[in-house]
């Protein structure tokens, strides 16, 4: 294996891993901010309890998103120094702006939000979570603008003397047609994950609550859980139930509905923007569209294969299910449009860039493209089914709900991963499309031992952290809604911090 | 002033901001066990930086991003060249942040003790290694005609760089102890106070040794002057600490950290990474920089947003200005741990 292959693997591992946390962070940031807004506006206790409950889960996830993001910031320099020299003039700016405009906002105001419950006025405190959420969305824009340059270089000139690309039009960089469609596609994708997460966790508690042995002692392991149970009993029996405070089940039903509706609406957004994205992609990276369909020969009209069984190299098909005209529509917006095939594009690229292979790994792009769509749609279907199943006070009872609820947030999450694997591998063999081949971007001075060391280190560390985080997440999911009644304070003592590490 | 000079200054500002702020974070992290003898006390120590450490770390991310944007050659050579130390720093930063976030997420004392150990080690590693890295940048490293670092790992472990590492480590310990004394009350405050007095002497001796070494080999009148300011800051801070004037003590140690790095950047200018092989191969603010167009855009962004960031980060310190003590922390650990004397 060469240092290049290892560097690519390392980038793939660290980035795909980092991106498990990003959609959850962005999706939940917006949803938690919305729940808190609902509380501030309606003063209903259920929204406060949901804000605090999902806020905690959000923070457990956020921590890993941040730390894995630090690696991303420095990995370009470590393993891809030739790339860094080549595009630094262009690529560095959005990265620096991401730190300056987005990450400062996100981290600083999140710190204020976490510790500010008892320090800030209600509305100011609400503002802090919104600013953190805005920070996370802004960071998405900048990093997508940077990535979009790699897919479709705009606003630059090539400086022969220095052998690098140089920025000439910053506005063009920020309004790259690719980023304009990728950004909404990604934000909707994040909201799908956030919504599915909300719905699944709420569904899990509804399922648990409908079991006869709901209060069995084996789950009672935290004070928060006990407190919430006592509270539930008291509110259910009517003793001490304040106006506007629903029962535990009622609160979970609200969360489930908010989550499922978010999932469905965001899913529609993903479909619409994904369709727009396909057309932009066909214009700027026709090879990627051809690779998405494994379309070797140019077709007009072109059909979309839902599933294909072919030879292992994907060059010849043995059996398939096809939807006529669909690929033409996805690529061009008309049902009879021509879609260029891989062989024709290969010939055209050879004429432009010289000899070499200009097609990505076709089976990989073909299947990631399909699985992305399939998992996303399956997530929407599961969300719709869940919503339908609790209509008019119906309860979740069947034990098959548990696996479905576990799968629910994973479906859109993995669809996110697959979409990115498709986008990034579909760009190959280019690092910057048409400008810099991937092989030319690696650090010339770094040794295989160094790259191998860092790859093994990060993989092992990330694996360990995944185990810790999932366990912690499950513990806090199980512990249920927190108690939000103010704690009695002894006279003369300092008021304990509402939250502390 | 030329744009490349402006950006040299701005990168210096970002790194100095990072070291002044995360410097005390590292110090606090290293001192958990020294200043906190049981879980509740250790939580007091950790929570002095609780609302701030995440925001402080963004100074590093922004410094990295800004270096990439303004001096791509510097970014590329530095991070591909200092590969293994940077890897260690990254691993430490990852573990440290997760450890602070997760330590109190379970009531299990063993869980908490493990994370506290992780916080201590993972704070010490970057506190030491950032110094080693900057020591090497100042000293000059083998960089060839293609701006590639060709020195290997062992070359980075030279006496000058190691001394710089010890200086940052001891200085951050002092800075962190003074910060804890400023932010707490009761027994933790007293311990922080007396620890700062002791470690401060070591930091002062090491800093003076490094400053003499640096200025005698590369110094200019200005760098001598900034060195004196750093020394006065540190000694003044220690004097204030002795009198229990923690606010002034913190100003003193912050000045020491800031002016130590101001001195370093002054000595470096106009190079960003000198080559020890051939001065012609030095990376300088001219041959490592981006185009004037990119630098202009970035200058506007920095001029508008750095003050805004400073304003809201300062506000967070104002919001959480109240001292915390053991009574600020709910005792929620599984079994009570006897306080050691």
The angle formed by the CA atoms of residues A42, A46 and A47, to the nearest 5 degrees, is: 55
Closest CA to B131 of B93, B170, B96, B95: B170
CA distance A56 to chain B (A): 10
Q: What percent of chain B has pLDDT over 70?
A: 98
How confident is the model over A431-435, as a mean pLDDT? 94
pLDDT at A247: 85
* Beta carbons of B76 and A97 less than 8 Å apart: no
Cβ A450–B83 below 8 Å, yes or no? Answer: yes
The first and second tokens of residue A158, run together, are: 């090539």
Q: Indicate if the alpha-carbon torsion angle A441, A146, A369, A331 is positive or negative.
A: negative
Q: Is A319 exposed, middle or buried (0-12, 13-18, 19+ CB in 10 A)?
A: exposed
* Cβ–Cβ below 8 Å for B312 and A95: no
**Rounded mean pLDDT, B241-265:** 95
What pLDDT score does A414 carry? 97
The two tokens of residue A240 are 């001490």
- Beta strands A164-167 and A156-159 are antiparallel
Q: Looking at chain B, which residue has its C-alpha nearest residue A92?
A: B69
Residue A496 within any structural domain of the chain: no
Among candidates B72, B147, B329 on the partner chain, residue whose Cβ is nearest the Cβ of A89: B72
pLDDT band at A212 (very low <50, low <70, confident <90, very high): low
DSSP-derived letter for residue A159 is E
Given a contact cutoff of 8 angstroms between Cβ atoms, the answer to whether A108 and A127 are in contact is no
Model pLDDT, residue A315 = 73
> What token pair was written down for A247?
């029962």
Q: Are residues A170 and A89 in the same domain?
A: yes
Q: Which of A59, A104, A142 to mutate to test the interface with B (most CBs of B within 10 A)?
A: A104
Residue A487 lies in a domain: no
Residues of B in contact with A457 (CB under 8 A): 87, 91
User: Residue B92: which H helix or E strand, with range?
Assistant: helix B83-102
Residue A487 pLDDT more than 70?
Answer: no
ipTM greater than cut 0.85: yes
Cross-chain residue pair B106–A472, CB shorter than 8 Å = yes
Out of B76, B309, B319, name the one closest to residue A112 (CB): B319
Statement to judge: residues A297 and A194 lie in one domain: no
**Nearest of A425, A430, A426 to residue A83 by alpha carbon:** A430
- Across the interface, of B61, B75, B77, the residue whose CB is closest to A99 is B61
Q: Which chain A residues are Cβ-neighbours of B65 within 8 angstroms? A: 73, 92, 95-100
Distance from CA of A59 to the nearest CA of B (A): 8
> At A260, is the secondary structure helix, strand, or coil?
helix
- Looking from the CA of A296 toward its CB, the CA atoms found within 13 Å total 9
Count of beta carbons in the 10 Å neighbourhood of residue A457: 16
Could you tell me the residue range of the domain that residue A379 belongs to?
3-228+248-280+371-479
Of the candidates A67, A88, A461, which has its C-beta nearest B290's C-beta? A88
pLDDT at B328 over 90: no
Q: Do A78 and B147 touch (CB under 8 A)?
A: no
Q: Are residues A49 and A184 in the same domain?
A: yes
Among the ranges given (A338-352, B279-293, B320-334), the one the predictor scored with the smallest mean pLDDT: B320-334
**Residues ≥6 apart with Cβ < 8 Å to A128:** A109, A110, A112, A113, A116, A120
Q: Which among B71, B102, B306 has the least Cβ separation from residue A472?
A: B102
Does the pLDDT of residue B11 top 80, yes or no?
Answer: yes
Residue B88 has pLDDT above 80, yes or no: yes
Residue A319, SS3 per DSSP:
strand
- Give mean pLDDT, residues B173-197: 95
* Residue A311 pLDDT > 90: no
pLDDT for A395 = 85
Residues A234 and A240 sit within 8 Å (Cβ to Cβ): yes
**Residue A138: what pLDDT?**
96
More confident residue, B339 or A270: A270
Instruction: Looking at the structure, tell me whether residues A291 and A405 fall in a common domain.
Output: no
Q: What is the chain A residue with the closest CA to B314?
A: A108
Distance from CA of A365 to the nearest CA of B (A): 31
Q: Write out the E strands in A388-484.
A: 430-432, 436-437
DSSP string across A269-315 = HHHHHHHHHHHHHHHH-HHHHHHHHT--S-BSS--EEEEEEE-TTSS
Task: Return the bridge partners of A432, or none.
Answer: A436
Place of tokens 């709900």: A401
Asked if residue A451 lies in contact with residue A169, where contact means CB atoms within 8 angstroms, the answer is no
The more confident residue out of B334 and B192 is B192
**Domain's final residue, options A310, A339, A359:** A359
Examine the domain organization and report whether A332 and A417 are in the same domain: no
Of A116, A445, A457, nearest to B81 by CB-CB distance is: A445
Chain A residues with CB inside 8 Å of B146's CB?
444
**How far is the C-alpha of A270 from the C-alpha of B168, rounded, in Å?**
49
Contact B65 A74 (CB under 8 A): no
Cβ contact A110–B52 (<8 Å): no
Please choose, from the candidates A201, A225, A202, the residue with its C-alpha nearest in 3D space to the C-alpha of residue A215.
Answer: A225
Q: Are residues A196 and A254 in the same domain?
A: yes
Cα of B223 to nearest chain A Cα, Å? 29
Percent of chain A at pLDDT above 90?
Answer: 76
**Tell me, what's the pLDDT at B340?**
53
Question: Which two tokens mark A106?
Answer: 């996100």
pLDDT at A232: 44
> Does the distance separating the beta carbons of B65 and A95 come in below 8 Å?
yes
Is A429 in contact with A345 (CB distance < 8 Å)? no
pLDDT digits (tens, 9 = 90+) for A147-187: 999 999 999 999 999 999 999 999 999 999 999 999 999 99
What confidence tier does A217 reach under pLDDT thresholds 50, 70, 90?
very low
Beta strands, E only, chain B: 271-273, 283-284
Instruction: Count other C-beta atoms under 10 Å from residue A133's C-beta.
Output: 25
Q: Which of B62, B103, B320 sits opposite A96 (nearest CB)?
A: B62
Q: Which of A359, A390, A414 is the last residue of a domain?
A: A359
Convert the pLDDT of each residue in A388-430 to its tens digit.
Answer: 999 888 888 888 899 999 999 999 999 999 999 999 999 999 9
Where does residue B59 rank: exposed (0-12), middle (13-18), buried (19+ CB within 10 A)? Answer: buried
Please check whether residues A204 and A298 belong to one and the same domain. Answer: no
Interface test with A, best of B74, B102, B106 (most A CBs within 10 A): B102
Total count of residues recorded for chain A: 501
**A82/B101 Cβ within 8 A:** no
> Which of B52, B70, B328 has its CB closest to that of A494?
B328
In this prediction, residue B267 carries a pLDDT of 92
Centroid of chain to Cα B125: 11
Q: Does any domain span residue A431? A: yes
Please determine, for residue A68, whether its predicted confidence score (pLDDT) is greater than 50: yes
Torsion, Cα of A436, A439, A442, A445 (10° steps): -120
Please check whether residues A392 and A343 belong to one and the same domain.
no
> How many structural domains is chain A composed of?
2
Residue A243 lies in a domain: no
* Cβ–Cβ below 8 Å for B55 and A496: no
Q: Is residue A219 part of a domain?
A: yes
Question: Who contacts B25 (Cβ-Cβ below 8 Å, separation ≥6)?
Answer: B49, B52, B53, B56, B57, B123, B176
Q: Span A127-144, mean pLDDT?
A: 96
Inter-chain touch B68–A468, beta carbons under 8 Å: no
What pLDDT score does A396 carry? 86
Mutate to test the interface with A, among B39, B48, B51, B287 (most CBs of A within 10 A): B51
Q: Is the pLDDT of residue B229 over 90?
A: yes
* Site of tokens 């000439």: A168
d(CA B111, CA B104): 9
Q: How far does A180 lie from chain B, in Å, by closest CA?
A: 21
> Is pLDDT of A386 > 50?
yes
Taking an 8 Å cut-off on Cβ atoms, the answer to whether A500 and B78 are in contact is no
What is the model's pLDDT at position B271? 93
Looking at beta carbons, which residues of chain B come within 8 Å of A166?
290-291, 293-294
Q: Rounded to whole angstroms, how far apart are CA atoms A71 and B252? A: 33
Other CB atoms within a 10 A radius of the CB of residue A236 amount to 12
3-state secondary structure of A338: coil
Task: For residue B327, give the nearest of A87, A100, A494 by CB distance.
Answer: A494
Judge contact between B85 and B161, C-beta under 8 A.
no
pLDDT at A131 over 90: yes
* DSSP string over A79-129: H-HHHHHHHHHHHHHHHHHIIIIIIHHHHHHHHHHHH-TTTS-HHHHHHHH
Q: How far is A37 from chain B (nearest CA, A)?
A: 22
Q: Minimal CA–CA distance to A276: which of A206, A192, A179?
A: A179
pLDDT tens per residue, range A330-385: 999 899 999 999 999 999 999 999 999 999 999 999 999 999 999 999 999 999 99
Residues near A236 by beta carbon (within 8 Å), at least 6 away in sequence: A247, A248
CB contact under 8 A, A84 and B102: no
Mean per-residue pLDDT of chain A: 89
pLDDT for residue A226 = 46
Q: Which two tokens stand for residue B68?
A: 């990439």
Reading the block at residue A302, the tokens are: 């072109």
Question: Are A439 and A475 in the same domain?
Answer: yes
Between vectors from CA A249 to CA A243 and to CA A251, what angle results, nearest 5°?
55
Same domain for A191 and A113, yes or no, is yes
Confidence of residue A496 (pLDDT cuts 50, 70, 90): confident
pLDDT at B336: 54
Domain match, A62 and A165 both: yes
**Residue B80 confidence (pLDDT):** 94
Q: State whether B100 and A501 contact (CB < 8 Å).
A: yes
Residue B203 has pLDDT above 60, yes or no: yes
Q: Which of B53, B87, B146 sits opposite A453 (nearest CB)?
A: B87
Residue B35 has pLDDT above 80, yes or no: yes
Query: Alpha helices of A152-247 — where are they, by DSSP H?
Result: 170-174, 177-210, 223-236
Tens digits of per-residue pLDDT, B57-77?
999 999 999 999 999 999 999
Judged by CB atoms closer than 8 Å, whether chains meet at B309 and A108 is answered as yes
Residue A239 lies in a domain: no
Residue A241 lies in a domain: no
- Does the pLDDT of residue B337 top 60, yes or no? no
Which of A337, A359, A381 represents a domain boundary (last residue)? A359
What is the per-residue pLDDT for B287? 92
Name which of A108, A131, A136 to mutate to probe chain B: the one with the most chain B Cβ atoms within 10 A of its Cβ: A108
Are residue A379 and residue A460 in the same domain, yes or no?
A: yes
Do A90 and A164 form a contact (C-beta atoms < 8 A)? Answer: no
pLDDT-derived band at A219, boundaries 50, 70, 90: very low
pLDDT of res. A418:
97
B144: how many CB neighbours lie within 10 A of its CB? 15
SS3 readout for B168-180? HHHHHHHHHHHHH
């Amino acid at each position: 294996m060469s240092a290049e292959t290892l560097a690519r693997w390392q980038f793939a591992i660290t980035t795909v891993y980092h991106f498990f946390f990003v959609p959850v962070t962005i999706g939940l940031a917006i949803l938690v901010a919305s729940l808190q807004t609902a509380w501030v506006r309606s003063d209903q206790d259920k929204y406060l309890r949901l804000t605090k409950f999902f806020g905690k889960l959000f923070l457990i996830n956020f921590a890993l998103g941040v730390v894995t993001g630090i690696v991303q910031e420095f990995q370009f320099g470590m393993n891809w120094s030739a790339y860094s020299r080549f595009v630094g003039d262009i690529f560095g700016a959005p990265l620096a702006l991401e730190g300056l405009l987005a990450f400062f906002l996100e981290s600083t105001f999140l710190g204020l939000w976490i510790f500010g419950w008892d320090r800030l006025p209600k509305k100011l405190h609400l503002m802090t979570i919104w600013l953190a959420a805005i920070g996370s969305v802004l960071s998405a824009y900048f990093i997508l603008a940077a990535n979009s340059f790699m897919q479709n270089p705009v606003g630059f000139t090539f400086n022969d003397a220095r052998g690098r690309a140089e920025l000439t039009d910053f506005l063009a960089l920020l309004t790259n047609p690719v980023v304009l469609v990728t950004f909404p596609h990604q934000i909707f994708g994040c909201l799908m994950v956030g919504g599915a997460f909300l719905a699944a966790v709420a569904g899990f508690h509804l399922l648990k609550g409908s079991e006869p042995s709901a209060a069995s002692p084996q789950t009672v392991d935290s004070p928060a859980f006990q407190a919430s149970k006592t509270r539930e009993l008291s509110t259910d029996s009517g003793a001490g139930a304040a106006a506007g405070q629903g029962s535990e089940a009622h609160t979970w039903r609200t969360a489930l509905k908010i989550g499922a509706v978010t999932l469905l609406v965001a899913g529609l957004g993903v479909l619409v923007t994904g369709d727009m994205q396909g057309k932009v992609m066909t214009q700027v990276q026709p090879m990627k569209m051809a690779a998405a369909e494994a379309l070797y020969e140019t077709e007009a009209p072109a059909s979309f294969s839902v599933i294909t069984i072919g030879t292992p190299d994907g060059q010849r098909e043995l059996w398939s299910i096809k939807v006529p005209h669909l690929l033409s529509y996805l690529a061009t917006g008309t049902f009879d449009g021509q879609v260029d095939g891989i062989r024709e594009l290969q010939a055209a690229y050879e004429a432009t860039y010289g000899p070499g292979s200009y097609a990505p790994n076709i089976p990989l792009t073909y299947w990631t493209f399909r699985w992305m769509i399939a998992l996303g749609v399956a997530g929407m279907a599961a969300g719709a089914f869940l919503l339908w199943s609790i209509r008019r006070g119906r309860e979740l009872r069947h034990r098959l709900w548990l696996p479905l609820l576990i799968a629910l947030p994973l479906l859109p999450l993995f669809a996110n991963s697959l979409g990115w694997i498709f986008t990034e591998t579909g760009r190959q063999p280019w690092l910057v499309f048409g400008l810099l081949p991937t092989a030319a971007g690696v650090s010339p001075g770094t040794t295989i031992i160094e790259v191998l060391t860092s790859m093994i280190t990060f993989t092992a560390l990330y694996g360990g952290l995944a185990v810790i985080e999932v366990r912690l997440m499950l513990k806090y999911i199980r512990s249920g809604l927190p108690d939000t009644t103010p704690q009695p304070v002894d006279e003369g003592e300092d008021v304990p911090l509402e939250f502390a590490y | 002033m030329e744009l490349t000079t402006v950006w040299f200054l701005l990168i210096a500002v970002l790194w100095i901001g990072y070291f002044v702020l995360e410097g005390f974070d590292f110090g606090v992290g290293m001192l958990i066990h020294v200043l906190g003898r049981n879980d509740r006390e250790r939580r007091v120590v950790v929570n002095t930086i609780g609302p701030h450490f995440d925001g402080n770390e963004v100074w590093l991310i922004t410094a990295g991003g800004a270096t990439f944007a303004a001096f791509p050659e510097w970014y590329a050579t530095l991070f591909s060249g200092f590969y293994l130390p940077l890897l260690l720093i990254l691993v430490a930063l990852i573990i440290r942040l997760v450890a602070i976030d997760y330590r109190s997420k379970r009531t299990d004392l063993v869980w908490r003790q493990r994370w506290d150990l992780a916080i201590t080690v993972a704070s010490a590693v970057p506190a030491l290694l950032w110094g080693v890295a900057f020591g090497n940048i100042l000293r000059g490293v083998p960089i060839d005609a293609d701006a590639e670092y060709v020195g290997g790992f062992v070359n980075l472990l030279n006496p000058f760089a190691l001394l710089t590492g010890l200086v940052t480590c001891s200085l951050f310990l002092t800075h962190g102890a003074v910060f804890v004394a400023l932010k707490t009350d009761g027994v933790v405050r007293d311990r922080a106070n007396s620890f700062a007095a002791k470690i401060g002497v070591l930091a002062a001796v090491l800093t003076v040794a490094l400053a003499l070494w640096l200025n005698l080999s590369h110094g200019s009148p200005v760098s001598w002057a900034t060195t004196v300011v750093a020394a006065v800051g540190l000694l003044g801070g220690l004097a204030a600490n002795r009198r229990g004037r923690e606010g002034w003590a913190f100003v003193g140690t912050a000045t020491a950290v800031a002016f130590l790095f101001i001195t370093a950047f002054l000595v470096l200018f106009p190079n960003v990474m000198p080559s020890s092989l051939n001065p012609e191969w030095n990376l300088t603010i001219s041959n490592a920089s981006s185009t004037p167009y990119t630098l202009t855009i970035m200058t506007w962004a920095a001029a508008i947003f750095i003050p805004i960031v400073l304003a809201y980060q300062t506000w967070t310190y104002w919001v959480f200005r109240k001292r915390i003590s053991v009574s600020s922390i709910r005792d929620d650990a599984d079994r009570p741990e006897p306080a050691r004397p």
